[in-house]
Amino acid sequence: MAHILFRHRDIPDLHKLEVYLANGGYEGLKKALSMTPAEVIDVVKASNLRGRGGAGFPTGLKWSFIPKGAPETYVLINTDESETGTFKDRELMERNPHQIIEGALIAAYAVNSHLVFNYIRGEYMDASYAFEEALRECRTAGIVGKNIMGSDFSVEFYTHYGAGAYICGEETALIESLAGNLGQPWSKPPFPAVEGLYKKPTVVNNTETLANVPGILVNGPDWFKMMGTPDSPGMKIVCISGHVEKPGNYEVPLGTTYRQLVDMAGGIRGGKKFKAILPSGGSGPIITEEALDAACSYDGLTPFRSVMGSASVIVMDETIDMVWAALKMIHFFRHESCGKCTPCREGTFWMERVLHRIYHGHGTEADIKLLESVADNMTGKCLCALGEFATSPVLSSIRHFLPEYKAKVAAGSNGRVAQRAVAAAAAD
């Protein structure tokens, strides 16, 4: 099946403007410029394209929230991609940059914005080479700048680099970071569509989301809805990592099952048995064998109390100690907590400490309850979703693998009894 997003896998040198143009490039933008902004929004709404960064908010609806006639609005591309196990936007940027630019220009036209920024994580500075080149080509060719493609619409388009902060993928943190502040989220409302960058109406879209837009304009919403499922139309890039034979990015229709994804990636490495998946990087609850036939879609994992998120599928085989995996993830969130709100800052800190002692055999049964209690004090009480995300790998691993936690605690207490006996014997 031909790719919709990873078209560079079918067309060599697609990152070059001439090649992109020769393959239908910027036709979507041309089409958009011949329509009214409201019509463009209607087409995207009709396609039911939903945000690919994880939250799944309908893109057209997001655009429609920008007040009509606002004198100054901004479009921001979110290429902060920092979720553990996520590397899809990087490949898009490296290999198919024009499709992102085209999607963002269509968004800018739809919300009447004359300034677009691509917020790229600082670590991707080297990977953004092709994107910078593509942008330069666009400026030279009059696709970016004044009166783009001969229309009366003008738009400037720049890159902006972060400097290492997971939280900047959260849209309000991203806006703060772009404004030159600490990347710390604010409590919504106000929503960015009303008060965003420099307190002006702002659209923040994920890179992959925007790469879907040109095709929708050219081929129409019905074409888009032919792929995927009714609630989750379109294709999705799934990043598969961990214990599979062929880790990498896979572009699949939404609704593909997790079992199919694992098979696509060559199955479990070394003929080992499957144990668990973190389906949304660190940000979603762990799923096990029972959920393998669930669909990778916005609601496919609901019965299994998990989420697709950004579709960063981290696969773990039977050799993995789930307490270790949970500790790795909480370490990540403790490190990346921005420190602004107390439940997240303190909660992630204490959860790491408690998990650390359980893992190293110093925990007690009560510590397992304590983890749940701390998590309970974070859930629904943090400024942004990070605090919520942080609890999910831990809580879900307790839910699915409680015996492993108990064994750690028991081994630790046996060890302590033995130590005390040795100490007592030595004292005699």
Instruction: Indicate the angle between helix axes 97-110 and 88-95, nearest 10 degrees.
Output: 100
What span, in angstroms and rounded, lies between the C-alpha atoms of 348 and 272? 33
Q: How far apart are the first and last CA of the chain?
A: 76
Residue type (1 letter), 332:
F
Q: Considering the complex, what minimum distance in angstroms separates the CB of residue 399 from other proteins?
A: 18
Q: How would you classify the pairing of strands 235-242 and 202-206? A: unpaired
Is the CB of 135 or the CB of 296 nearer to other proteins? Answer: 135
Task: Count CB neighbours of 161 within 10 A.
Answer: 14
Q: Considering the complex, what minimum distance in angstroms separates the CB of residue 159 from other proteins?
A: 7
String of DSSP letters for 310-343 = T-EEEEEETT--HHHHHHHHHHHHHHH--SSSHH
Q: Considering the complex, what minimum distance in angstroms separates the CB of residue 35 from other proteins?
A: 20
Q: Considering the complex, what minimum distance in angstroms separates the CB of residue 99 from other proteins?
A: 19
Q: Determine the distance from the C-alpha atom of residue 202 to the mean position of all C-alpha atoms in its chain, rounded to a whole number.
A: 19
Q: Considering the complex, what minimum distance in angstroms separates the CB of residue 185 from other proteins?
A: 13
Dig out the tokens for 237 from the structure. 């890039």
Is the CB of 65 or the CB of 198 nearer to other proteins? Answer: 198
Q: Considering the complex, what minimum distance in angstroms separates the CB of residue 206 from other proteins?
A: 14
What span, in angstroms and rounded, lies between the C-alpha atoms of 44 and 38? 10
Q: Considering the complex, what minimum distance in angstroms separates the CB of residue 126 from other proteins?
A: 5
Kindly list the distances between the CA atom of residue 126 and the CA atoms of 17, 302, 349, in Å, as whole numbers in the listed order.
Answer: 20, 38, 33
Q: How would you classify the pairing of strands 274-282 and 312-317? A: antiparallel
Dig out the tokens for 68 from the structure. 């009509």
What span, in angstroms and rounded, lies between the C-alpha atoms of 52 and 132? 23
Is the CB of 114 or the CB of 381 nearer to other proteins? Answer: 114
Dig out the tokens for 288 from the structure. 């096990």
- Beta bridge pairs of residue 202: 74
Q: Considering the complex, what minimum distance in angstroms separates the CB of residue 115 from other proteins?
A: 6
Look at residue 239 and give its three-state secondary structure: strand
Return the residue matching tokens 């502040």: 181
